[in-house]
Amino acid sequence: MSPRLRWRKFVSGFMLTMTGVCAFVAVSVLFVILGYLVYHGGTSISWNFFTKLPVPVGETGGGMANAILGSAKLLLLATLVGVPIGFLGAIYLAEFSGGATAFVVRYAADLLNGVPSIVIGIFAFALVVHPFKHFSTLAGGFALGLMMIPITLRSTEEFLRGVPNALREAAMALGASKWKTIATVIVPAAYRGILTAVLLAFARVAGETAPLLFTALGNQFWSPGWKQPTASLPVMIYTYALAPYEDWHRQAWAAGLVLLGLILIINIVARAILSRGIAVPRS
Amino acid sequence: MATTTTTVSSGGPVARSRSFLSRLREGDEIASMVTFLFAASVVLVTVLLVFELWQGSALARHKFGFNFFRTSVWDPIFEQFGALPFIYGTLVTATVSLLIAVPLGIGAAIFLAELAPARVSDTLEFFIDLLAAVPSVIYGVLGIFIVVPLMRQYIQPALKHSLGFLPLFQGPAYGVGFLTAGLVLAIMVIPYIISVSREVLLSVPRDQREAALSLGATRWESTWKVVVPFARAGIFGSIFLALARALGETMAVTMVIGNTPTISASLLSPGYSIAAVIANEFTEATGELHTQSLIELGLVLFILTFILNGLARLLIVATSQRGSGTGRA
């Protein structure tokens, strides 16, 4: 082997090893994050964490029950806003629309998807908080719902398009009208994909903090109804982590662990649903 | 049911041969109308968002004009608002993050697309996808409790010791600051670079690799001199995507950048970013002008990410179409 070739082989082997190291470093970050959260937060998770209100500074104990309920309410609202618009809009795009309208809608959705979450917060503030002069659960849910729309819309459309045309033709050949075809053939055929899309969108907004800062605000107590500011897990983590109290830091770690656990589980479930699907392509 | 034969296409409307009334009776027109309304509401919301940002910042835009971007006094009491420190901080942290994330991300993407067996590659990609799902506030928590102390005690003193002659690494080691924010941002955007770059690398036709190898290129030479250049546009697309994310990222940056509106050549110095100042001051904005200035910052952020995302999409689509092959050497 000439020295030149030996050198080239060495470079090849070295660089390829380096790419492996890069991949290893990138993936290990996930486990580092999980490890730290479990290490620091694991001990603070107790029954109280899920059932008690936060306690004033200085007292130990207490939990984040109000934040957990608040997050649940916000996510319920977000789903009510985001999923119908995303789902029905996607049906329009995939089954009804022609070129130009579909292009405009898709473009708008991609635009909305790229908007930084803090700007979504400003928008929700201007649209919901400002006119009613009140920070509220409604405003927070609206902001999160806005973020769910483009994710649901674009991936649902992909999955609807993945349904083979033969199915459409067969249904129509049997005399079914178009909407019947959609409702009884196409959507059921793509439901795994659609469910995955919705779950991923849900997981994505579950951890969003920035849009909640000036819509749902925060709350140390229970938030009755929908028109009051409410606590939420992500905002609680943010405030507690920045506060100068040791006890609050522990709570922030615990809340982080709960939140990340929830998000990762939803992600894994969503992907599991999809991988067992049949007539749905991977997007 | 009295229907004539209709041609069915996946996207286009059903042939117009049937009368409007019969289609209405079957419900197709109604279904079309209803779904159209939902689709149109997406456009409406987006237009409204741009309108609100434009309208909401009118006062500030008129009062300060271009000086908004040139001056660095941010004083709510005397109603003087110049955004230079925030823009500077945003750009510096984004640059630092890309300097770290691009080599790492592309390296990992090459490994996943070219080297790893399909099964390993898919498993790792699964973890990368999970990593992309970690919320930014979690990165923030790890940032302030783990990265900041680490920076303050070990990394920043080491940098000052070895590279302290550069203006980039001077001044006291606070832990928080541009460098820390850039590092945390880098960790956050790496998954995006990896996912997209892996996709475009995989779409490079197999012939390209085989041709290079058959000419006697080593594995690395075929990857670096043939496959990567072929996918170059798409990889740039992934970088733009990551940049757009980095510019708009709020929580993690707010927690580790130090929140001090300074312009300093030193990366160790604390700073401020556009998203962070909005997050910190929006609810407590004192006067109309203060709020409007913050909304104008939001508008700036919106325009920046709008341009970058558009560019990214163009580049990625162009590459994916160019190489439609399933490439796994």
Q: CA of A92: which chain B residue's CA is closest?
A: B35
| First vs last C-alpha separation in chain B | 54
Q: Please tell me whether residues B37 and B144 are part of one structural domain.
A: no
For residue A89, the chain B residues in CB contact (below 8 A) are 35, 38-39, 41-42
Q: Is residue B188 part of a domain?
A: yes
Read off the tokens for B179: 């460098």
- pLDDT band at residue A133 under the 50/70/90 scheme: confident
Q: Please tell me whether residues B255 and B177 are part of one structural domain.
A: yes
A164-213: pLDDT as tens digits: 999 999 998 998 888 889 999 999 999 889 999 999 999 999 999 999 99
Q: How many domains does chain B have?
A: 2
Give the mutation candidate from A106, A161, A178 for the B interface (greatest B CB count, under 10 A): A178
Percent over 70 (pLDDT), chain A: 98
pLDDT at B323: 59
3-class secondary structure, B74: strand
Give the mutation candidate from B188, B201, B220, B304 for the A interface (greatest A CB count, under 10 A): B220
pLDDT at A61: 77
pLDDT at B20: 67
pLDDT at B286: 79
Q: How far apart are CA B164 and CA B242, in angstroms?
A: 30
Read off the tokens for A221: 């107590």
Average model confidence (pLDDT) across chain A:
91
Q: Is residue B28 part of a domain?
A: yes
**Nearest neighbour of A25 by CB, restricted to B104, B112, B145:** B104
**b/e map of B309-321 (b: 16 or more CB within 10 Å)?**
bbbbbebbeebbe
Task: Give phi and psi for A104, each to the nearest 5.
Answer: -60, -45
Which residues of chain B are under the pLDDT cut of 70?
A: 1-26, 323-329
Q: Is pLDDT of A280 > 70?
A: no
Read off the tokens for A41: 């937060």
Q: Please tell me whether residues B217 and B100 are part of one structural domain.
A: yes
Query: How many CA atoms, within 13 angstroms, populate the side-chain half-sphere of residue A88?
Result: 18
Q: Is pLDDT of A45 > 80?
A: yes
Amino acid at B98: L
Contacts 24+ apart (CB under 8 A), B145-151: B145/A36, B145/A40, B145/A241, B145/A249, B145/A253, B146/A36, B147/B180, B147/B183, B147/B184, B147/B256, B148/B175, B148/B176, B148/B180, B148/B256, B149/B175, B151/B175, B151/B179, B151/B180, B151/B183
Q: How far apart are CA A78 and CA A83, in angstroms?
A: 8
- Please judge whether B137 and A209 are an interchain contact, meaning their C-beta atoms are less than 8 angstroms apart: yes
Q: Is pLDDT of A89 > 50?
A: yes
pLDDT at B172: 87
Domain boundaries, chain A: 68-248+270-274
* CATH of residue B230: 1.10.3720.10
**CA Rg value for chain B:** 25
- Find residue B80's DSSP bridge partners: B75
Q: Please tell me whether residues B37 and B167 are part of one structural domain.
A: no
Matching residue, tokens 């956050």 = B188
Residue B28: give the domain boundaries: 13-56
- The CATH code of the domain at A68-248+270-274 is 1.10.3720.10
- Find residue B75's DSSP bridge partners: B80
Q: Please tell me whether residues B41 and B106 are part of one structural domain.
A: no
For residue B35, the chain A residues in CB contact (below 8 A) are 88-89, 91-92, 95-96
Q: pTM, whole model, 2 decimals?
A: 0.90
Q: Is residue B6 part of a domain?
A: no
Matching residue, tokens 């920046």 = B304
Structural element, H or E, at residue B81: strand B80-81
Give the mutation candidate from A6, A15, A19 for the B interface (greatest B CB count, under 10 A): A19
Q: How far is A166 from chain B (nearest CA, A)?
A: 10
pLDDT at B324: 52
Q: Is residue B8 part of a domain?
A: no
Q: Please tell me whether residues B46 and B188 are part of one structural domain.
A: no
Question: How many Cβ atoms from other residues are within 10 Å of residue A245's Cβ?
Answer: 12
Q: Is residue B4 part of a domain?
A: no
Q: Is residue B251 part of a domain?
A: yes
**Nearest neighbour of B295 by CB, restricted to A8, A122, A259:** A122
- Please judge whether B105 and A122 are an interchain contact, meaning their C-beta atoms are less than 8 angstroms apart: no
Q: Is pLDDT of A68 > 70?
A: yes
- Please judge whether A238 and B56 are an interchain contact, meaning their C-beta atoms are less than 8 angstroms apart: no
Of the candidates A176, A129, A40, the one whose C-alpha atom is nearest the C-alpha of residue B3 is: A176
pLDDT at B4: 43
Q: How far is A215 from chain B (nearest CA, A)?
A: 9
